[in-house]
Copies of this chain bind each other. A is one copy, B any other.
């Protein structure tokens, strides 16, 4: 990973742990796509509020949705969004050098709402097909009322930084003889066996396709 300091803006520049930071658009996109969940942070009358929600991506835009009246899908109010996955515990010889392996993207932006009906439908299709590839076309079609109740917000993926760690512990040289196991305990995320709705009728079903994202 290049340890570039060419942050797209002063705000985006990673403040702590710059060695683990990068600003490469391809890496940003990979980390966004690998994950289903993001955290949207807003300042509401000066009070920070952070909301977990699912996201998807289309080109250089990050999208999320919510009830049309929900606070986290409003336009014109600056947000900071983080997408982070914990990939392992890094167990060192000293408490101080304990760490975690992870991948994280932090985005700054001011959301806009999708107002065009066709664009809304298209983005919902992208979202459903991220969650379960190929599913959209099998569903009962969206109604006008459902569409009206659903707000979709997006920010450009431009002011984005990556932080990540993916390596063994890095101990003080003098500590490598300390008599304790050291290494990484990896955290794995897998899709379990699909659990059919108890109200599912019939038995000859094609089970859903699990997403690559976790």
Residues of A participating in the B interface, judged by any CB pair closer than 8 Å: 11, 15-16, 36-37, 39-43, 46-52, 54, 66-67, 69-71, 78-82, 84, 86, 88-89, 91, 93-96, 98, 100, 102, 104, 106, 108, 124, 128, 131-132, 135-136, 138-140, 142-143, 146, 149-150, 168-169, 171, 175-201, 205-208, 210-211, 214
Contact = CB atoms under 8 A, between A and B. Distances in A.
Contact of A48 (B41, B95, B197): B41
A183 B201 contact: no
A131 B89 contact: yes
B182 A188 contact: no
Given A135-B91, A181-B207, A84 B37 contact: yes
Contact of A180 (B39, B43, B138, B190): B138
A200 B175 CA distance: 11
A47 B184 CA distance: 35
A113 B32 CA distance: 33
Given A94-B146, A95-B146, A96-B146, 12 more contacts: A16-B70, A41-B80, A43-B46, A47-B80, A48-B48, A50-B106, A93-B139, A94-B140, A176-B201, A177-B201, A183-B196, A185-B210
Given A16-B70, A142-B94, A48 B42 contact: yes
Contact of A41 (B11, B49, B177): B49
